[in-house]
């Protein structure tokens, strides 16, 4: 097999496949391919091979991988390489009303780590949003609580501060109707906060990494995050031959190239800060009507 033709498959930055589309993904593995609709041109459809010999690795993104657990033996038995990003922020309900309870998530993360190893499970504390309800001090205390609970389940934590995309500004503005104001913090206060959580992470045997936040990097304390990471894959799978070149998705991104097989507007968690959902009610209709035999996840209309 020509290693240069193997691709890293992102599953998915655009939606939570492990939480909501595990049946669809299982069917795609069985078929050996998935189809992807270009989010900027619905007429452009790409076929992506999911055959083991043509997949360099899967990178999974989730807030609840438990529905995905029955698929793990199959992935391992068929020789797929993979690791997980698992987001756990424990924000108040105004921010993420549909997320599973933190205690349940923590238990699930330990269960996943037992199955695949802590090295293959990356905890994401992302994004950090400073508000009248969630100050930097609140975040520091919340981060400490979660890091202590997750000690031993993961060896790496990736954080970033919220980026105010246009698709994010509107939903976040709605927080004002619930009495929550978006605040700003100056660079010095953010830097002190990052140093604080880096120390907390280290105390709990984790390496803190900054995603697209190069100004907060500190040698030996805060590393640059590479969410789609050749070097990590080589550590996890010595036989892995990196074929992907650097392909940042935004400013200061450290990722290598990957192919995402998800679709925007199809996640049901409905977090107010999510850039991938423009309309949560449309996402709910999309999920309820989705055919798991369809080779593609189709964005909601």
Q: How far apart are CA 203 and CA 164, in angstroms?
A: 31
On the question of a cis peptide bond just before residue 12, with omega within 30 degrees of 0, the verdict is yes
Element at 232 (helix H, strand E):
helix 230-236
- The DSSP secondary structure of 94-146, one letter per residue, reads TT-TTSPPHHHHHHHHHHHHHHH-GGGEEEEEEEE--BSSS-HHHHHHHHHHH
Task: Please report the pLDDT score of residue 243 as a whole number.
Answer: 65
CA 22-151-252 angle, 5° bins: 70
Q: Is 271 helix (H, G, I), strand (E, B) or coil?
A: coil
- The SS3 of residue 31 is helix
Per-residue confidence (pLDDT) for residue 24, from 0 to 100: 96
pLDDT tens for the 301 residues of the chain, in order: 455 579 999 999 999 999 999 999 999 999 999 999 998 898 999 999 999 999 999 999 999 999 999 999 999 999 999 999 999 999 999 999 899 999 999 999 999 999 999 999 999 999 999 999 999 999 999 999 999 999 999 999 999 999 887 778 877 888 888 899 999 999 999 999 999 999 999 999 999 999 999 999 999 999 999 999 999 999 999 999 886 678 888 889 999 999 999 999 899 998 999 988 766 556 666 666 688 999 998 755 5
Write down the residue that tokens 């939903």 correspond to.
171
pLDDT of residue 165: 76
């Amino acid at each position: 097999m020509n290693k240069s033709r193997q691709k890293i498959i992102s599953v998915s930055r655009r939606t939570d496949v492990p939480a909501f589309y595990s049946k669809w993904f299982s069917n795609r593995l069985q078929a050996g391919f998935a189809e992807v609709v270009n989010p900027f041109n619905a007429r452009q459809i790409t076929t992506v091979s999911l055959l083991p010999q043509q997949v360099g690795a899967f990178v999974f993104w989730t807030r609840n991988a438990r529905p995905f657990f029955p698929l793990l033996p199959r992935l391992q038995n068929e020789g797929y390489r993979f690791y997980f990003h698992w987001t756990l922020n424990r924000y108040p309900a105004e921010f993420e009303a549909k997320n599973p309870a933190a205690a349940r998530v923590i238990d699930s993360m330990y269960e996943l780590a037992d199955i695949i190893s802590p090295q293959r499970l990356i905890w994401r504390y992302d994004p950090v949003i400073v508000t009248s309800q969630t100050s930097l001090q609140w975040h520091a205390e919340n981060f400490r609580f979660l890091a202590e609970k997750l000690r031993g389940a993961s060896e790496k934590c990736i954080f970033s501060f919220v980026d105010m995309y246009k698709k994010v500004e509107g939903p976040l503005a709605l927080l004002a109707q619930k009495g929550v104001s978006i605040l700003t913090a100056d660079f010095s206060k953010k830097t002190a906060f990052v140093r604080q959580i880096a120390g907390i992470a280290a105390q709990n045997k984790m390496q803190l990494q900054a995603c697209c936040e190069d100004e907060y990097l500190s040698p030996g304390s805060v590393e640059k995050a590479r969410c789609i990471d050749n070097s990590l894959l080589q550590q996890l799978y010595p036989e892995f031959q990196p074929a992907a070149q650097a392909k940042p998705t935004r400013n200061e991104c450290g990722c290598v190239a990957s192919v995402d097989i998800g679709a925007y507007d199809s996640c049901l968690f409905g977090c107010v800060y999510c850039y991938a959902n423009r309309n949560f009610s449309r996402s709910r209709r999309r999920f309820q009507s989705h055919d798991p035999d369809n080779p593609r996840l189709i964005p909601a209309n």
